[in-house]
Amino acid sequence: MIATQSACRAFVDDLVSNSADQSACREFNRTTLDFVLGHAGPDIIVLASNWSNATEISVLVDRLLSSGKAVILITPLLNVGFDVPQKWLENQLRAGRAIPEWKVEANPSLTNSRLRQELAQLLSRYRDSPRLITVDPQSVVCEQGYCYLVRHGQANFRDTAHISNVNASQYRGLFDAAFAMALKALDKQQAR
């Protein structure tokens, strides 16, 4: 089951902190969380969003873990800041040739390092919890101080913030391992 709402990030609705958010996003998040936390709700929750606030992520993870769920948290990917396919096309036109690989320096802004550090600190209390599994997509597209925006002639992003459908399969190994760990954690929890 997939629950998404276009242009809405994932958060636990709070009247004060989310008052500026669209009412449709707030309602969607409330309804989705109520469903997920319900008795018939799913046992494994995959959380992915265009994350910008470590505290909001932590609050959501807290709620899910306290209800006995296993949580697969997809950590922030890259803060590219521009439309990758468009810029790639422009670069190829300027170069007058195909550019099958485009990598950029993995600087702190691109890698969301501050957000990732804040999140790691907030979630450190769960470091021994087998029910919180983090999936780091940067481990696939970044290596040796560089991150690939284009690899093997395919853009890794379809716009400023979403991975491309073509290259989504490169994350399969990460998700296979994460789901195996989540199932094992739930089996262990039920055996108690």
Reduced to 3 states (helix: H, G, I; strand: E, B; else coil), residue 12 is coil
Confidence of residue 26 (pLDDT cuts 50, 70, 90): confident
Q: What is the pTM of this model?
A: 0.89
The residue with greater pLDDT, 20 or 127, is 127
Confidence of residue 126 (pLDDT cuts 50, 70, 90): very high
Q: Where are the alpha helices (DSSP H) in the chain?
A: 23-37, 54-66, 84-95, 113-123, 138-141, 172-191
Instruction: Tell me the average pLDDT across 52-68.
Output: 93
Residue pair 28/8 in contact (Cβ under 8 Å)? The answer is yes
Handedness of CA 154, 79, 113, 134 (dihedral sign): negative
Q: What is the pLDDT of residues 92-125, one digit of tens each?
A: 999 999 999 999 999 999 999 999 999 999 999 9
Q: What is the pLDDT of residues 130-166, one digit of tens each?
A: 999 999 999 999 999 999 999 999 999 998 878 898 7
- For residues 47 and 168, give the distance between their C-alpha atoms in angstroms, rounded to a whole number: 16
Q: What is the pLDDT of residue 157?
A: 93
